[in-house]
Amino acid sequence: MRREVVKRIETVIKDLWPTADVQIFGSFSTGLYLPTSDIDLVVFGKWERPPLQLLEQALRKHNVAEPYSIKVLDKATVPIIKLTDQETEVKVDISFNVETGVKAARFIKEYMKKYSLLPYLILVLKQFLLQRDLNEVFTGGISSYSLILMAISFLQLHPRIDARRADENLGMLLIEFFELYGRNFNYLKTGIRIKNGGAYIAKEEIMKVMTNGYRPSMLCIEDPLLPGNDVGRSSYGAMQVKQVFDYAYIVLSHAVSPLARSYPNRDSESTLGRIIKVTQEVIDYRAWIKKKWGSKINLSPELDNRLKIRDQIAPCNGEQQQNRDSEPSYNQRLALSLASTQQLSSGSSASSVSSLSGSDIVSFFF
């Protein structure tokens, strides 16, 4: 369905500029997109200035987008055209001659190969932030790129070597991620570095290489692709994100502790369901997509890495993977992992999970 959206827009662009090169980047390129995620496109060509208005007129003429959805943001740091596809309601952002997004997608794919568990962690964290309106910088949250870099750093610097194994317990990793960024990470003094194997570095060190006299932000993440750039610079609501991570740590820690037997999951939810919800609107949208495009499935590895990612990961409990229809989904696999998180490694930072005091739990519920 998404490839058809890209094809329609690409046809309009090629009619205008036959030699233009249209590339996909962002979550659709990496396969890390949610059902509600938009599509990011960049057009490469020879223009003195981005021809935003020209493309806007052509898109209107061909009725590609819902008429009132097309917006030209020519004053933005990166000028873009925003639109909603008429047929599918998928949102699309189009930029011109900006290479950073394509390079970032390539960078993320490399780390997805290195850490096969990364996609599972990212998709759950993206959904977690989405339902709290903290998945965009302009709503007071953090960008997907910041979140992905935080997850990469978490795996790079994890004290347990086995945390990076393909068959590692995903539920335990999720709780440890929330513990790190909700409780233990020192946002005031510490910055995150990804390059050269990863490190935590003092913000004073980062400030020495930052451009234009900028000071490190609260969530300070050194851009691995653009030295001197702080990826978290615009994330003014980073402390809200820290608070919801702490909340998730408390909820999931309690859910897998011995005391959880007194508060069992409701019949309608899993352990993961205590912090993640999928709305009926999304379920209905998925059903509509499956009904309309289900017969056209022919995945291109360049555009959709999801099945390849699933194939790379050892199936839960050592079972052989079944056909695609009966294969566990991302959320099912995470739910299975969370259910067995009681068997935590005593050497792990998450060993505190099963040692929450009664007062901790009382203060949370009351």
pLDDT of 306 above 80 = no
Q: What share of the chain is helix, strand, coil (3-state, %, to 5)?
A: 50, 10, 40
pLDDT of 203 above 70 = yes
**Of 24-33, 67-76, 293-302, highest mean pLDDT:** 24-33
Please check whether residue 334 is in contact with residue 170, taking contact to mean a CB–CB distance below 8 angstroms: yes
Q: In this predicted structure, what is the pLDDT of residue 265?
A: 65
Q: If pLDDT is split at 50, 70 and 90, which confidence band does 168 have?
A: confident
Q: In this predicted structure, what is the pLDDT of residue 292?
A: 87
Q: In this predicted structure, what is the pLDDT of residue 206?
A: 80
Residue 221, helix vs strand vs coil: strand
Total-model pTM: 0.79
127-167 tens-digit pLDDT:
999 999 999 887 788 999 999 999 999 999 999 888 888 88
pLDDT of 34 above 60 = yes
Higher pLDDT, 326 or 72: 72
Tokens of 246: 């702490």
Please check whether residue 311 is in contact with residue 113, taking contact to mean a CB–CB distance below 8 angstroms: no
Q: If pLDDT is split at 50, 70 and 90, which confidence band does 75 have?
A: confident
Cα distance between residue 166 and residue 118, in whole Å: 10
Q: In this predicted structure, what is the pLDDT of residue 316?
A: 40
Beta 91-96 vs 39-44: how paired, if at all? parallel
Residue 189, Cβ neighbours under 10 Å: how many?
12
Q: If pLDDT is split at 50, 70 and 90, which confidence band does 227 have?
A: confident
Q: In this predicted structure, what is the pLDDT of residue 297?
A: 62
Please check whether residue 259 is in contact with residue 354, taking contact to mean a CB–CB distance below 8 angstroms: no
259-292 tens-digit pLDDT:
777 766 666 578 899 999 888 988 998 898 889 8
**Taking the alpha carbons of 210, 213, 214, 216 in that order, is the dihedral positive or negative?**
positive
Q: What percent of the chain has pLDDT over 90?
A: 53
Q: Which residue has the tokens 């011995």?
A: 258
Please check whether residue 217 is in contact with residue 238, taking contact to mean a CB–CB distance below 8 angstroms: yes
Rounded to the nearest integer, the mean pLDDT of the chain is 81
Please check whether residue 236 is in contact with residue 139, taking contact to mean a CB–CB distance below 8 angstroms: no
Q: What is the mean pLDDT of residues 2-12?
A: 95
Please check whether residue 251 is in contact with residue 338, taking contact to mean a CB–CB distance below 8 angstroms: no
184 DSSP 8-state letter: I
Please check whether residue 246 is in contact with residue 182, taking contact to mean a CB–CB distance below 8 angstroms: yes
